[in-house]
Structure 1
C-alpha cells in the first residue's frame, strides 16, 4: 500500500529515520501506532492525502506495510520499552523522540508551506503531538488513543507524558486560540478516561474529546479489545462512529491548516 509514497529519510541531531511522503498541500505528520506502519495506518494516511494535504509518515519502530500480528506487536512493544527514545513510564516528561518530531514538523512546514502543520499520534505516539506544540509551526495536534505513560497507578492514568514546561506552552497556546483533538474508546484501559479528564481540566474548551462506545469497534479487528480508533478497530462505512471520527480528524486539519 506504500507504492504511492516516496521513501526518504530525515536527520536531526545525528538521528536519521525513514519518512514516507505523499500528496500536496499543508503538511500533516502521521505518527503510527504499534507495531509499525501497518496497511491500515497507510489507509488513514491516504484519506488525509485525498483531503488535500501532504503526508509525512515517519517510521519510529517496526516495519513499513507489515500487517498486525500478536508476535509483531510484542516485538515492537519490547523495542520501545528498552529504547532511549521512549520513556514509557514517564508521567511528567516527554519521550526524547519528540525533539526529532518537532524538527520534522519544521522541515515539513518549510517544504510544504501553508499556515502550519498538523500531527496525529496513535497509541504509544498518541501524546507526542502535545510535545510537538513546542514547535510554533504545529497548529493541529490530534491524539488517538494516547497510551503513554503506561497506565500503572492513578498518577500515570491521568498523566499526559509532557514536561511542566511543555504543558505550560500548550496551555498558553490554547488560551490564544489553539485547539487539541483527542479520540479513544470508552472502555480502553490502555488509554484511560482519566487522561482525557486531565486534558479537559487543563485546556478547557480548547480540548475536543471524542469517546466511542466499545460496541462500535470493528468485530473483525485483530486487537484483543477495542483500542485503535482510526485503524484496526475502524469500520470503513459512512455513519459508523469510527469512520465519522476519522472524518472529524480530517475536518480538524482543514479548519486549522487551510486559509479561510
Structure 2
C-alpha cells in the first residue's frame, strides 16, 4: 500500500512551473519541501506527524521518486540533474532559486483553503533555503530552515551563501524586524551546511533561532531524525500557527 494513499493528489501551476502535490489534514497549512533524493517514506512520515499535530500539510513533489526508500544510488542519480535544471541554483551565489515564486504561490493557495494566521514552510537540504525565499510573501509566518545545503559549499563564498538575492534578503530582514522569526536546525558537524547559520545570525540577529545538534548527521527531521529537532520544529509551528 502506498504511503501516500491517504493523501489527496493535486497539481499546482504557477510562474512557469507545474508540479504534483499531496495534501492531507485539517488546520493551518504547512508546506514541507522535500530533500534529496525525493519524496521518501521518511519525509511522508514526518508530514503525517504534522497532520497528527493539527495541521494541513502539502508535500510538493519536485524531483526524484515518490515514496521510494532513500538509497545512495538514487541520490547519485538525482543530484547531478538538480545541478543543471533551471528550477534550482546549486552553484550560483546571491540569487534566489527560480522555483521560489512557484512555492510562494503554493503557500498562498494553501492559506486560502486552510485559513489561520498564515502558513509554515519547511525546507530541507537542497531546498533548505527555500523557506527563506518563501517568507518574502507575508503569508508565510513560520519558516523553518533545515540543514540548508545550497549553493553547494565549494569555497568560502558558496558555503556562506543563504540562497537569496539581495532584494529577497532585504525582504526577509524586514519580515524578521517586524516579528517573524526564522527557525534553523542542523547537526554541528554537517559540512554541507557550510557557514550559513553564521550568515543567518549576522543578517537576522535575534530573529534567527538556531537548533544545533551534536554530531555529523544531516537530515535532522527524516533520515537522521533527532527528537530534539522534531520537538523544536513542531513547537515552533504550534506557537506561530496555533498560538500554543
| Matching of residues 1-260 of structure 1 within 5 Å | 1-192=3-194, 194-214=195-215, 226-234=217-225, 242-259=226-243
Displacement of 1:7: 1.1
Structure 2 CA distance for aligned equivalents of residues 91 and 187 of structure 1: 22
Displacement of 1:13: 3.2
Structure 1 CA distance for aligned equivalents of residues 101 and 42 of structure 2: 26
Gaps of 5+ in 2: none
Structure 2 CA distance for aligned equivalents of residues 134 and 208 of structure 1: 18
Displacement of 1:259: 4.3
User: Is contact 2:12-2:20 (8 Å) kept?
Assistant: yes
Detail structure 1 runs of 4+ shifted over 6 Å in the superposition: none
TM-score by length of 1: 0.91
Gaps of 5+ in 1: 215-224, 235-241
TM-score by length of 2: 0.97
Aligned residue pairs: how many? 242
Q: Once superposed, what is the RMSD of the aligned Cα atoms? A: 1.0
Residue aligned with 1:134, SS:
coil
User: Is contact 2:91-2:152 (8 Å) kept?
Assistant: yes
